[in-house]
Structure 1
Amino acid sequence: MSSQPYGLEWFKPENLYDYAAVVIVVVSIGLTNKIHPFERPFDPNDPDLSHPHWKTDIVPMATAFAVTVGVPIAVVTIFAAIKAAYGASAVAGRGHKWALATFLVTVHDFCLPFVLTIELTSLFTDVVKNWAGRLRPDFLDRCRWSAETHACTGDPALILDGRRSFFSGHSSFSFAGFTFLALYLSDALGIFAHQTKPRGLAFRLTLIIMLFLIPSYIAISRTQQYIHHPTDVMTGSLFGVFMAVVGYRAHFKARLPSHQQQPDLADVEGGRPSEDSFNFDDRLRLVS
């Protein structure tokens, strides 16, 4: 049995390493943003770099980040609450403590790897941006090229940012976030279960696919206002999907038993399962 009070088992000492990783990545992102990007030479008459610079973003970075992080966490929180409440009422002996513990573990075990995946995606994106130094489609408008001095005369900060086009950060972290959520809900809803076909499979699959409308809009908006080339957006989107798949499988698939065995209710005594018969890492499959 765990020595921790029931209801607080969402915290595990080994998670301290994951928390440390989150902090390290956040600090690394801050340091990466201070790196000077590669200064790629350019033709002041290049039509691909001559698009107008927009003063405001269609989807500002703060909004994109809030949606990408907030929506998945909110969805899983609501879903976990419903599942925990249903599980507590459906089986005798499962009380409020069981429901609370299940809810806390579910939300915590989603949020920790989810946030880490978003952060790692952002870190790698920022590193590549500085290494590549690709010029944005609106670079010349930022540059304000002077034929007399043969140099840019625009805002230095705008010019530096104009050298960070490849690949799109909005696209990478938004697709990473919603792909992670889609994979999680697909498992929770049994969409890819091989044993039995769940009821309402088409409806469940439609809900999952429609999630991708949000990152798609965020990504496409970057080309609408000429902040990114189409290849920047496509590469960023694919990279985000890749990071989400890797992050999800590393944190969840490797820990789930292949048989997806449900806990034996005979081993649940007084609303508190034993460690041998009950695995919180099965997350939302607890009462499905």
Structure 2
Amino acid sequence: MSMTRKLSSRVAPVIRKISTMSFLKVMEPSLDPKVFNVNEVAVGVNLLLLYGFAAISVIIPTLLGVSQRGFFCDDDSIRYEYRTDTITAVQLMLYNLVLNAVTVLFVEYYRMQKIESSINNPRYRWRNSHLHALFVRLLTYFGYSQIGFVMNIALNVATKHVVGRLRPHFLDVCKLANDTCVTGDSHRYIIDYECTGAPELVLEARKSFYSGHSAVSLYCAVWSALYIQARLGTVLNNRIVVPITQTAMIMVGLGISFSRITDNKHHWSDVLVGVFIGIFIAAYTCVFWTDIFSNNSTEAEVQPLLLSPTPRTARVEWSTGEVERPNLVSPSSDSSVVSGSGGGQESEVLLPVPTSA
């Protein structure tokens, strides 16, 4: 029993130390409750985890190769002509990254200039330099968009290599060495065949399911639309601008998806599955992984980004046993209670200054 107590007394401090290690906290409070230090180690660890996972999810399926599937001789769905991409993969990535970045930049700039001009926003510091709150917000919300973006790419690459479905232009780029479909049963399933076409084109022609263009373009369009709804839709006194902008984004995403059918790159079912997966990951990212729909009121902007939200009913008890109500409205205000009204009754929400990410 004594050995157990000794072991527990030694292990417990180690666990507490690990749980509060500084490299896990992206934002660290300083002596000034309105100034937060950006932890460069935590930022580097997060970037390494995210993009390291992206690299691994691409490298491993590439090394394992693509599944070699056969085909039916009378399958007309793989006899279309080869066409070049209307939207290349590089153009797709650039477009979607720029779309997310520009959307975040415009929305946050508008909020700070038009809506939050009277709000005393937190200040951020990187080493000995102060960072503008707009810059921190841009990197924060753009980083949120990258989480689902990377997961989308990882799922798509893995699925394409495992399934190995033939693209509509497969036979055109394969150029069968011995066309065994000329004689015999036209409905035979051919598994033993040799392609004489360009190896890189033949390899790509085995990656039809599901459409990566559709998944990525719809993900970025829907994520941007949901982000606008969360950050701008609730504070902008206009019922037309937001829906029009959201619809335009989704229309462009659908246009990119449909081009994969007209380019003979994907079957319609590949595009349909890609669209649904892109929309699902965008919604899941916004609602669960990053929770961008919480704390979007102007009063909530006095709280620093990237810190875990404090329960609305939480109270902070200091060593004196008294309840302290921190000032969250402005430095000159004597009250730290955010009051709201609902159904004619006022309610108090006590939000202590958080100390961990």
Distance 2:110 2:124 in 1: 15
> In 2 relative to 1, CA 86–215 (structure 1 residues): closer, same or farther, beyond 3 Å?
same
Q: TM-score, normalised by structure 1?
A: 0.80
1:147 and 2:178 equivalent? yes
1:196-215 equivalences under 5 Å are: 199-215=237-253
One of 192, 203, 219 as aligned partner of 2:257:
219
1:40 and 2:62 equivalent? no
Match of 1:172 in 2: 215
One of 217, 226, 233 as aligned partner of 1:190:
233
1:25 and 2:60 equivalent? no
One of 166, 173, 180 as aligned partner of 1:135:
166
Match of 2:137 in 1: 106
Question: 38-47 or 163-172: which moved more?
Answer: 38-47
Per-residue CA shift, 1:10-45, capped at 9, x if unaligned?
657655553232122222233133331111111344
Distance 2:352 2:237 in 1: 28
> In 2 relative to 1, CA 63–166 (structure 1 residues): closer, same or farther, beyond 3 Å?
same
1:3 and 2:34 equivalent? no
Contact 2:82/2:172 (8 A) holds in 1: yes
Secondary structure at the counterpart of residue 57 of structure 1: coil
Aligned letter for 1:169? G
1:79 and 2:141 equivalent? no
Looking at secondary structure, tell me which structure has more strand per residue.
2
Q: TM-score, normalised by structure 2?
A: 0.65
Match of 1:283 in 2: none
> In 2 relative to 1, CA 89–137 (structure 1 residues): closer, same or farther, beyond 3 Å?
same
Contact 2:29/2:36 (8 A) holds in 1: no
Per-residue CA shift, 1:215-245, capped at 9, x if unaligned?
1111111101100001000101110111111
Match of 1:285 in 2: none
Aligned letter for 2:162? W
Match of 1:250 in 2: 288
Give the structure with higher Rg (CA): 2
Distance 1:41 1:266 in 2: 65
1:234-249 equivalences under 5 Å are: 234-249=272-287
Distance 1:8 1:118 in 2: 28
Contact 2:159/2:209 (8 A) holds in 1: yes
- CA shift, 1:124, in A, is 0.4
Match of 2:331 in 1: 269
Secondary structure at the counterpart of residue 113 of structure 2: helix
Specify every segment of 5 or more residues in structure 2 that has no aligned partner in the other structure, as ranges. Answer: 1-27, 181-192, 303-326, 337-350
> In 2 relative to 1, CA 102–148 (structure 1 residues): closer, same or farther, beyond 3 Å?
closer
> In 2 relative to 1, CA 7–51 (structure 1 residues): closer, same or farther, beyond 3 Å?
farther
1:70 and 2:109 equivalent? no
Distance 1:206 1:220 in 2: 21
Contact 1:10/1:104 (8 A) holds in 2: no
Secondary structure at the counterpart of residue 146 of structure 1: coil
Percent sequence identity over aligned pairs: 19
Secondary structure at the counterpart of residue 266 of structure 2: coil
- CA shift, 1:204, in A, is 1.7
> In 2 relative to 1, CA 184–13 (structure 1 residues): closer, same or farther, beyond 3 Å?
farther
Aligned letter for 2:212? G
Specify every segment of 5 or more residues in structure 1 that has no aligned partner in the other structure, as ranges. Answer: 280-288
Aligned letter for 1:122? I
One of 87, 90, 98 as aligned partner of 1:59:
87
Per-residue CA shift, 1:31-90, capped at 9, x if unaligned?
133331111111344211100011x21001111111111112112112212322335644
